[in-house]
Structure 1
Amino acid sequence: MTATLSVAAILAESSRRYPRRTAVVDGDLRVTYAQLWREALTVAGALRDLGVRPGDRVALQCPNTVDFPRAYYGILALGAVVVPVHLLLTPAEVAYTLRDSGARLLIAHPAVAAGDFDIPVVAPSSLLDAEPLRSYASRDPSDPAVVLYTSGTTGQPKGAVLSHLNLVMNATVNVFDANDARPSDVVLGCLPLFHTFGQTVGMNGTFRLGATLVMLARFTGPAALDLMVAEGVDVFHGVPTMYLALLDAAAGRTDLPRLRLCVSGGASLPVAVLERFNEAFATSIFEGYGLSETSPTATTNQPHFGTRAGTVGHAVWGVEVQVADAAVDERIELLPPGALGELVVRGHNVFSGYLDRPGDTALAVVDGWFRTGDLGTVDEDGFVTIVDRKKDLVIRGGFNVYPREVEEVLARHPGVAQVAVIGVPDPVHGEEICAVVVPGSPAPSGDELIAWSKERLGRHKYPRQVRFVESLPLGPSHKVLKRELRKAVVASSIGVTEA
């Protein structure tokens, strides 16, 4: 007999164990686990009636409302594969995702801009009148469960295929081993659920515990604080820009939420922001690290090992993270503790490969290790530190400069609200270091920031250019889009201060 496993079991089991407990809060709606699972089985029945079969791919484009988990677990209950679609894509980009994934059907929320697609498009509300399935379809643990499209920083986006084993294990390890998560938790669901962080750590992790997920469809700092206070939220998962927004919104307020557990991921969290947030909210942020291809969590600061600011903690249970020689592509050459190289990952969380792209998969998974493209170190105590993205490395006059190191220094200046450091073309040095700054109050001058950096960084590291902007370009998951920033900076000379 073959073993079976389904991500749908996450919701099914919590429905069996905690039927009357609130699974989702969505505005005035309070949806119990029993009700949510019944609705997911109804969605599965409707998809079956529309001709969807186990193994088929179904695209899902939906904001953070209860419709998302209804449809997500309904697709999985049928034995089909979920293809989450970013909300901010243009119709042409959506069409690419649908075509590349081979999706049979698109479930699109009415709030999402429509397009002219080659496959049927249905609203989530139209899937709630069918005869529900009696239970979920059995799947092999290695069967595809979700296809997540990467951001496509080089070339076109690729579909990362995640198995049922990948996702069930990652959700389980996150809540039972890596973090002090509890069934009594009330979690703010503000990370986009179509993104791997919000989907696995937020939604699947919360439901694996039988805790409560409070939906927030559009994140702003004030809206998040108001909702957290109103609903008694005590767990927050976010990316660094969200923590900055909460800090800004907290200024002058006395009614702040009592946050027991905070997890940061998606991008490097400046230590200065971590310290300010911990002090303002009387809590501790646990910074972690992962990618779509690692389900996503690979490492996190964990109570068991103790925390260390500026690091992303230890590898999670059942996962190994090492450092390999970044200059050797055809094989993995592991480096000793403390050495700088490319972070590589192996374990239950590593994806099955890129959909229909065996060549790209072979480049990404070498000798059983997934090559992350991130540069970092693993020290003698097992703490992992991310230095920077391999592709974000700035080479100035032959010297390697890691933008994150420069950003950490500038983030400590009292007049800097946000900063991103990039490399721009330079005829003398090849690349020059440019700091793009969202000023705080009082706003600093460019000369002031250059002088600040010069005192604290080596001569080859400090920025020679400073540009001031009202905001940094953010992707759907609230990460700073450095490639867009580079394009904008290279195309314009507005707001430049040069040393």
Structure 2
Amino acid sequence: MEFNYADLFEGVADAIGDRVALVCGDRRLTYADLDAEANRLAHHLEGVGVERGQHVAIQLYNGIEYAVAILAALKIRAVPINVNYRYVESELLYLYRDSDSVALLYDAEFDERVAATVPQVPSIRNLISVNGPSTVPGAVPYEEAIAAQPATRGFPARSGDDTYIIYTGGTTGMPKGVMWGMEDMLFAFWNPSFPRPGKPQDVVDQAVNAGPITMMPVAPLMHGAAQMATFITWWMGGTIVYVRKFDAAEVWRTIEREKVNSLTITGDAMAIPMVEELERPGASYDVSSLIAYVSTGAILSGSVSDRLARALPNVMILDRFGSTESGSTAQAVAGSTPEKGLRFAPDVEDVTVLDDALKVVQPGSGVMGQVARSGWIARGYYNDPEKTARTFPEVDGKRWLLTGDLATVEEDGSIAVYGRGSQAINTGGEKVFPEEIEAVLKGHPGVYDAVVTGIPDERWGSRVAAVIQPQGEPPSPDDLDAHCRKELSGYKVPRTYAFVTEMKRSPAGKADYRWAKQIAEEA
């Protein structure tokens, strides 16, 4: 057994095969059941010619089949590729081609888009349709693909150096495939509350000896955080629970039914509708099983966190810091919010801040740099050596990841994070970070959601602009201006407001800053 995700899952399945591994809707699979179904799909992929190192695209909603597809690809040393199910044809065409995928599992609901794009991608030779019939020529129904295949293994030996790729949706550009070696990824995303394993068997032993736990990633599995939450749960010998599509009421019903202990979301975009459902008159859910409510991958504003704390008084509300390239690296300091200033305490030793000369920033110096991590980090970006070289520089023989998050180091060693440098707005020589302003705007009772961006300004170079999804009747710009001036310096206050009926975000809740900029410029 190696530090390889397929090896480790098989080891856990052999040790605790009768425990429930996965629940989605009415379906419940034990570890043994899940292993057997993944073996069948893996044999099908082998049989149609998918080879070691080739890429298998997965364009599905959350469900049993998504987890099976990931495991099946890994079992034959192929690479699963996550596909954003909201992509239109041009975006799908880019991702299919950029990823060099040779096979595609897709939900029948996406039949029309797949039919329009796959013929333009000669590398995709094998199609498997899930959840219904497909009109795409050559597509094999999922049930048919696995029906005649053996449930046993018989796969080649694997390595901890095998590749895992997670496409991360860009907020300012096209998505990029983050490449990991599996051993590095295992340690980078390891649950910091458990001791790190010294050998692969330690992972299996931990799963055997851990107490029963049920965890639920609310984000879609096409988001890396949900995939990693799934594996973390299995390394704890627990049960992972999915909902097919995000719906706040269905999430709370599932938590009540399945007695979920730990919940993972991605920022305000999921937290707001969830807390609104708890606050809705007449709403009643038994959430007594819930211990932790964890946000990762997107900003959780202080006003929303406070509402969650009031609605869930016996639940820990936690904000994690990390990225697809870095893994999970830090925990928000108690009382830290985007409105007051975000501060994170690293829970791994190799996280720091590097200045413009790529030197370590000294605590309390006030020097601003980029959050950086060494050690267990991604290999780089698939098909993009230039971006890899810029993002993963080598300094004095040590390889670093530059996350793009601008920060300073406080005297106590905590990291004060201001925001993404790529999204910072330079207005009249002052640097403004959208996340801070977005959090303040969302504290206004008339604002449901907000995205802040910079637009051209003849005098200041750029001006701060806010796209607002109102809560009921839109507040006036004067009202929003007065609200912001209570919390922000004048140069940070938006000069332009655009009101929309629905905010455009990724399925994981991340802001679409390209779209917001266009809307703001039109306003």
TM value normalised by structure 1 = 0.89
CA contact (8 A) 2:450 2:469 kept: yes
- The match for 1:22 among 20, 26, 41 is 20
Instruction: Report whether the alignment pairs 1:218 with 2:249.
Output: no
- The match for 1:396 among 427, 430, 454 is 427
**How many residues matched?**
475
Instruction: Report whether the alignment pairs 1:173 with 2:191.
Output: yes
What is the letter of the counterpart of residue 98 of structure 1?
Y
What residue number does 1:322 align with?
A: 352
Instruction: Report whether the alignment pairs 1:474 with 2:475.
Output: no
CA contact (8 A) 1:46 1:132 kept: no
What residue number does 2:59 align with?
A: 61
How far is the alpha carbon of 1:308 from its aligned partner?
4.5
Whole-angstrom distance in 2 between the partners of 1:156 and 1:444: 34
Which secondary structure does the structure 1 equivalent of 2:352 belong to? strand
Instruction: Report whether the alignment pairs 1:335 with 2:361.
Output: yes
What is the letter of the counterpart of residue 321 of structure 1?
V
What residue number does 1:496 align with?
A: none
Whole-angstrom distance in 1 between the partners of 2:214 and 2:50: 35
Q: Name the CA shift for 1:363/1:185 in 2 (closer, same or farther; >3 Å).
A: same
How far is the alpha carbon of 1:138 from its aligned partner?
2.9
- The match for 1:410 among 420, 441, 448 is 441
- Cα-to-partner distance string for 1:365-394 (whole Å, 9 max, x where unaligned): 112111111112332333333211111111
**1:81-120 paired onto structure 2 within 5 Å:** 81-113=79-111, 114-115=114-115, 116-117=117-118, 118=122, 119=124, 120=126
Which secondary structure does the structure 1 equivalent of 2:50 belong to? coil
- Cα-to-partner distance string for 1:56-91 (whole Å, 9 max, x where unaligned): 222222211100111110110111111121111223
CA contact (8 A) 1:59 1:83 kept: yes
- Cα-to-partner distance string for 1:108-155 (whole Å, 9 max, x where unaligned): 2323332342222123333322124525543332221x2222324555
Structure 1 unmatched runs, 5+:
494-499
Higher mean displacement: 6-15 or 39-48 = 6-15
- The match for 1:292 among 324, 327, 335 is 324
CA contact (8 A) 1:453 1:462 kept: yes
Q: Name the CA shift for 1:22/1:312 in 2 (closer, same or farther; >3 Å).
A: farther
How far is the alpha carbon of 1:171 from its aligned partner?
4.3
What residue number does 2:382 align with?
A: 355
- The match for 2:272 among 244, 247, 250 is 244
CA contact (8 A) 2:69 2:80 kept: no
- Cα-to-partner distance string for 1:418-467 (whole Å, 9 max, x where unaligned): 22222122111111112222223575322111012223322222222233
What residue number does 2:165 align with?
A: 147
**1:42-61 paired onto structure 2 within 5 Å:** 42-61=40-59
Q: Name the CA shift for 1:483/1:154 in 2 (closer, same or farther; >3 Å).
A: closer
Q: Work out the percentage of aligned pairs sharing the same amino acid.
A: 27
What is the letter of the counterpart of residue 446 of structure 1?
P
What is the letter of the counterpart of residue 189 of structure 1?
P
How far is the alpha carbon of 1:35 from its aligned partner?
0.5
- Cα-to-partner distance string for 1:240-267 (whole Å, 9 max, x where unaligned): 2111110111112232523201110111
- The match for 2:233 among 196, 206, 223 is 206
Whole-angstrom distance in 2 between the partners of 1:62 and 1:96: 18
CA contact (8 A) 1:171 1:208 kept: no
What residue number does 1:193 align with?
A: 221
Structure 2 unmatched runs, 5+:
130-141, 197-206
Q: Name the CA shift for 1:381/1:13 in 2 (closer, same or farther; >3 Å).
A: farther
What residue number does 2:291 align with?
A: 260
Which secondary structure does the structure 2 equivalent of 1:451 belong to? helix
- The match for 1:134 among 144, 153, 169 is 153
CA contact (8 A) 2:160 2:181 kept: yes
Whole-angstrom distance in 1 between the partners of 2:172 and 2:449: 26
How far is the alpha carbon of 1:279 from its aligned partner?
1.6
Taking only aligned residues, the RMSD between alpha carbons, in angstroms, comes to 2.3
- Cα-to-partner distance string for 1:192-223 (whole Å, 9 max, x where unaligned): 112111111x2111111121112111102122
What is the letter of the counterpart of residue 391 of structure 2?
A
Whole-angstrom distance in 2 between the partners of 1:408 and 1:23: 37
- Cα-to-partner distance string for 1:324-367 (whole Å, 9 max, x where unaligned): 22xx3xx512222243221111121x111112322221111112
CA contact (8 A) 2:190 2:328 kept: no
How far is the alpha carbon of 1:404 from its aligned partner?
2.1
CA contact (8 A) 2:215 2:262 kept: yes
Whole-angstrom distance in 2 between the partners of 1:371 and 1:87: 29
- The match for 1:377 among 388, 399, 408 is 408
Q: Name the CA shift for 1:313/1:249 in 2 (closer, same or farther; >3 Å).
A: same
What is the letter of the counterpart of residue 464 of structure 2?
I
Whole-angstrom distance in 2 between the partners of 1:218 and 1:31: 19
How far is the alpha carbon of 1:183 from its aligned partner?
4.3
Higher mean displacement: 17-26 or 181-190 = 181-190
Q: Name the CA shift for 1:395/1:166 in 2 (closer, same or farther; >3 Å).
A: same
Which secondary structure does the structure 2 equivalent of 1:405 belong to? helix
What residue number does 2:178 align with?
A: 160
Q: Name the CA shift for 1:32/1:45 in 2 (closer, same or farther; >3 Å).
A: same
CA contact (8 A) 2:83 2:222 kept: yes
What is the letter of the counterpart of residue 264 of structure 2?
H
CA contact (8 A) 2:361 2:408 kept: no
